[in-house]
Structure formats: C-alpha cells, structure tokens
C-alpha cells in the first residue's frame, strides 16, 4: 500500500470514528433520548431514584429521571395536569409546550413563591415557555405552600413522589419518582388537581372526598391520602403500630411527635428501626432525630453534600409509604400534600435498596 493510500485509508477510518463517537457520546452521557432504566418496574408501575454524584458537575446534568416525565408528556394524547411546588426544568417546560401545540389540554398548579422568585432566571425562563404555549398556571396565593409533586397524563397515568421538577432535585438531591399506570389513581389525583385549578381551593378548604381511597391491582393495594384536608399521618401511624418485623425510613423533615412516638414504641417492642435524617435541621430542637437515637434506633444523618429529600417509609418489607408529605405538623395541617401507602413487595424491595444505598453513603461520610 502506497503512502498516499495509507493516508487516505487512515483519514476514512478517522472520519468513521468521529461519526460513531458523535452518535454515541450523547448516549454515554445520558441524553434525553436515552431514558434511564427504572430501579424497579411491574405491570402497573415504574420506580426511579436520583443518583447524586459525590462531585457534582453541571455538564453531566442529562438523562436523569426528568427524561421519564418528558417521555410521558410527549406521549400524551388528551390531557396533561401538573401540580408541582418547584419548577425550573426547561426540557419539561418544552414538552408541555409541545403537548399544548398539538392540541393536548395542558394545565398547571404551582406555589406562589415559585412564581414570585424573579431572581431565579431558570424558573422564570421555564414559566415563560409554559405561558407562551397558552398553558394556564394557577398559584395558591397563600403563606402555606402548595407542596405537591405530581403529573397526571391522559387521566390514566400518574407520576408522583418526592421529586420537584428542578435541575437541583434531579441531579443533586436524593429523590424518588414513581409512575403508576392506573385509571382509578389518576381519578384521585385529577380530583385533587381540579380542587386547586378549577375551584381555587387549597389546604383544608379542599374536598375531603377521595373517589377511590383503596385500589386493588391483583394482589397489590394502593391507599391515597391528601393533606391538609385530611391527616395522612394517622393511617401511617396505624401501619407503624402494626409493624411486625422492621421499619426503614428516609426523611427530609421529621418533626411529627405522634409518628416519632409510634416508632419509639415499636423499637421498645423489639422491632428494628433504621432511619436516615436529612442533616439540615436534624439537630434542631424540633427534630425527632435525638429522640429516636436515644431510644436506640439505628439513625443516621445523610451524607449528601446537598440534600437528602426523600419522604418514605418501608414497613415489614411489604408496605411502602411515599409522596410529597414531609413528616411534620405543617405538612399535616397547612400544606397541599399527597401520600400513597402501597402494599406490594416489589415496590418495598426497591425502596429498601434505596435505603441501603443512602445508609451506605451516610456511614461512609460519618465514618461509622
């Protein structure tokens, strides 16, 4: 082979490598086109968790759980309803705009503090994109917060959990997002949404009616609770009091005396209790951290340099409670919140694995 042919051959090979690299690089980084695999899935659900890196690099903020919501919205045929406390994800805003542009009815409820946050250019840019697509945004207009984090698509699928639709919640904070494909649950969340969007009713002024309070799917069940028209801490306390083998939980905020008393009672009865508290605020006089630690529970302060934002319980390896509901009096009496209690071992196993992971990080950081 002559030198000229060799150079031509090498140039062709190099060109092919550049093309292949250009195609594969976005996938390697996690582009929106490559939806992340769920931590667990079943016939009617998908569960996903954020995976914050020890060293945060904004350039890697792609391909997270936000892409699952974008995929849901892009697949909507009739309706998209979104109620979320915090919002700055442009890819979600653009998906909402695309849906509205193709004739899907898109509606949004958010907290007034988010709308009023004019110092955050990312929030304002995302809201502008939504408004420019002629999507109506309803604010709560009150001191307490509209703390929901859910989306309902085509009155058939619900996404809910601890995750706000923001870059920080997606790539820096520990969060969960659960997609449930069930029309009855969608009816429950649509009823809650329309109380806020149509009736402009928030906190205890909302209807106490839940159309389908207990849903059965095969051998699994889902119970739906909304605050502050009802008190989700009561059914959760009953589940804790009935626990027979172990209790694991992750909590951004835990100041609820009644829930803490139930946990301490079960610990004294010989039930192992394992818990990770978000470090911020865990040593204040309002936190239940010291009470549970002194009662002998296995408790940790989280190791995320930002925020551990989960609000979840796993009881006896079969029951999982999760949603936007923080374990506090404010969440019970003032805010707009949701809590699902799901009896399904696959769901419980997925959340238990997340507890294990968060505990491992907490122990590594603390040296315990």
283 and 148 part of one domain: no
Instruction: Tell me: do 149 and 255 sit in the same domain.
Output: no
Q: Both 349 and 269 in a single domain?
A: yes
- Decide if 72 contacts 153 (C-beta within 8 A): yes
Q: Is 219 a catalytic residue?
A: no
Among candidate residues 167, 192, 217, the one where a domain is terminated: 192
- Residue 333 in tokens: 């009496």
Backbone torsions φ then ψ of 191, nearest 5 degrees? -60, -45
Quote the pLDDT of residue 185. Answer: 99
Residue 348 is predicted with a pLDDT of 98
Annotated catalytic residue 231: no
Q: Examine the residue annotation and report whether 344 is marked as an active-site residue of this protein.
A: no
pLDDT score for 2? 55
* pTM of the shown model: 0.90
Whether residue 168 sits in one domain with residue 261: no
Q: Exactly one of 140, 147, 195, 206 is catalytic; name it.
A: 147
Q: Are 2 and 36 in contact (CB under 8 A)?
A: no
What single DSSP character describes residue 36?
A: P
Structure tokens at 267: 């610990």
- Co-location of 241 and 355 in the same domain: yes
Q: Show which of 141, 167, 192 is a domain's final residue.
A: 192
**161 and 84, same structural domain?**
yes
Q: What is the CATH number of the domain that holds 75?
A: 3.30.870.10
**Does residue 234 share a domain with residue 186?**
no
Catalytic residue among 66, 111, 149, 302: 149
Are 264 and 167 within one domain?
no
Annotated catalytic residue, options 113, 154, 316, 329: 154
The boundaries of the domain holding residue 171 are 40-192
Ranges of the chain whose pLDDT falls below 70: 1-36
Decide if 32 is inside a domain.
Answer: no
Which of the listed residues 177, 192, 207 is the one where a domain comes to its end? 192
User: Which pLDDT value is given to residue 38?
Assistant: 80
The pLDDT score that the predictor gives to residue 39 is 86
């Amino acid at each position: 082979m002559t030198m000229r042919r060799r150079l031509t051959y090498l140039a062709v090979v190099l060109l092919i490598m550049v093309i292949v690299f250009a195609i594969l690089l976005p996938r390697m980084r996690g582009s929106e086109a490559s939806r992340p695999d769920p931590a667990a899935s079943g016939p009617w659900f998908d569960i996903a968790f954020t995976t914050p890196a020890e060293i945060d690099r904004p350039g890697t903020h792609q391909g997270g759980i936000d892409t699952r919501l974008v995929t849901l919205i892009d697949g909507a045929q009739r309706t998209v309803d979104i109620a979320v406390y915090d919002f700055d994800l442009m890819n979600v805003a653009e998906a909402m705009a695309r849906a509205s542009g193709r004739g899907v009815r898109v509606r949004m409820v958010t907290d007034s503090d988010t709308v009023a946050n004019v110092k955050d250019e990312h929030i304002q840019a995302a809201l502008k994109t939504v408004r420019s697509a002629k999507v109506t945004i309803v604010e709560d207009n009150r001191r307490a917060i509209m703390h929901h984090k859910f989306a309902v698509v085509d009155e058939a699928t619900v996404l809910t959990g601890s995750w706000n639709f923001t870059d920080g919640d997606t790539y820096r904070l520990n969060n969960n997002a659960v997609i449930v494909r069930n029309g009855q649950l969608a009816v429950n969340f649509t009823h809650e949404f329309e109380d806020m969007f149509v009736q402009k009713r928030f906190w205890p002024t909302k209807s106490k009616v839940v159309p389908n309070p207990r849903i059965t799917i095969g051998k699994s069940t889902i119970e739906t609770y909304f605050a502050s028209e009802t008190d989700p801490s009561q059914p959760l306390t009953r589940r804790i009091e009935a626990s027979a083998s172990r209790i694991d939980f992750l909590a951004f905020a835990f100041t609820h005396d009644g829930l803490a008393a139930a946990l301490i009672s079960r610990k004294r009865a010989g039930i192992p209790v394992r818990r990770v508290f978000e470090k911020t605020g865990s040593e204040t006089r309002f936190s239940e951290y010291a009470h549970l630690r002194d009662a002998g529970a296995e408790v940790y302060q989280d190791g995320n340099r930002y925020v551990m934002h989960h609000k979840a319980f796993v009881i006896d390896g079969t029951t999982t409670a999760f949603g936007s509901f923080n374990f506090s009096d404010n969440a019970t009496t003032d805010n707009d919140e949701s809590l699902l209690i799901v009896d399904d071992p696959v769901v419980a196993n997925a959340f238990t694995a997340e507890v294990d992971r968060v505990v491992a990080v907490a122990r590594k950081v603390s040296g315990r």
